[in-house]
Chain A
Amino acid sequence: DAGVTQSPTHLIKTRGQQVTLRCSPKSGHDTVSWYQQALGQGPQFIFQYYEEEERQRGNFPDRFSGHQFPNYSSELNVNALLLGDSALYLCASSLGQGTHEQYFGPGTRLTVT
């Protein structure tokens, strides 16, 4: 039973560039949430996708956007990258809308130079 997978593992970008991160949920899950985790901090909720729509959003600017595909996989896009966007980006999947039991992937470590 495949768990949550994320790609790529690591990424280095330059300020002002755009980045796309990808996530495949755990088998049987239909909801994907994205989190940003800065060094030494807990994960911060970015947004949640269910039935291909953004259902909940945290306190992140519009530079952060996402998409969910019919197979429940998801993408996180960040435009106009800032140095402060350097973090571990985590994807979590769950069954049904709302919080419920969320299972995290290994994350994508983004470094902005």
Chain B
Amino acid sequence: QKEVEQDPGPLSVPEGAIVSLNCTYSNSAFQYFMWYRQYSRKGPELLMYTYSSGNKEDGRFTAQVDKSSKYISLFIRDSQPSDSATYLCGGGGNKLTFGTGTQLKVEL
């Protein structure tokens, strides 16, 4: 079993939709949780970073962590074509462990 599980997609939504991206994890030692956005053939870009259960909001993005169920979510409001990318979730303690990434396409 992988430490971080993520549906690879692809996920296709119309412009303006609310997007929900989800991950589950198995390592109870994870202290930090992150979401990164990665455009094709580029390095990952840090979107959200949290180390507690609950919600964290930044503009159109909301990260949600539920440590009791080991569930991580990212919500994107008013999605734009520029949001089309692969979204990586990760958990960290002594090292950062990523899921495989979910490919998102926002269509006009």
**Chain A residues within CB distance 8 Å of chain B:** 4, 33, 40-45, 48, 56, 58, 88, 90, 92, 98-107, 109
Q: Contacts A100-B32, A104-B36 hold; do A45 and B46 have CB atoms under 8 A apart?
A: no
Contact assessment for B44 and A43 in the assembled complex, using a CB-CB cutoff below 8 Å: yes
Assembled-state Cα–Cα distance A104/B76 (Å): 22
Contact assessment for A105 and B96 in the assembled complex, using a CB-CB cutoff below 8 Å: no
Assembled-state Cα–Cα distance A100/B94 (Å): 9
In the assembled complex, which residues on chain A have CB atoms less than 8 Å from the CB atom of B88? Answer: 42-43
**Chain B residues within CB distance 8 Å of chain A:** 4, 6, 8, 31-32, 34, 36, 41-46, 49, 88, 90, 92-101
Can you list 29 A-B pairs with a CB-CB distance of less than 8 A?
Answer: A4-B43, A33-B95, A33-B96, A40-B100, A41-B101, A42-B90, A42-B98, A42-B99, A42-B101, A44-B98, A45-B97, A48-B95, A56-B94, A88-B41, A90-B43, A90-B44, A99-B31, A99-B32, A99-B92, A99-B93, A99-B96, A101-B49, A102-B46, A102-B96, A104-B36, A104-B46, A106-B42, A107-B42, A107-B43
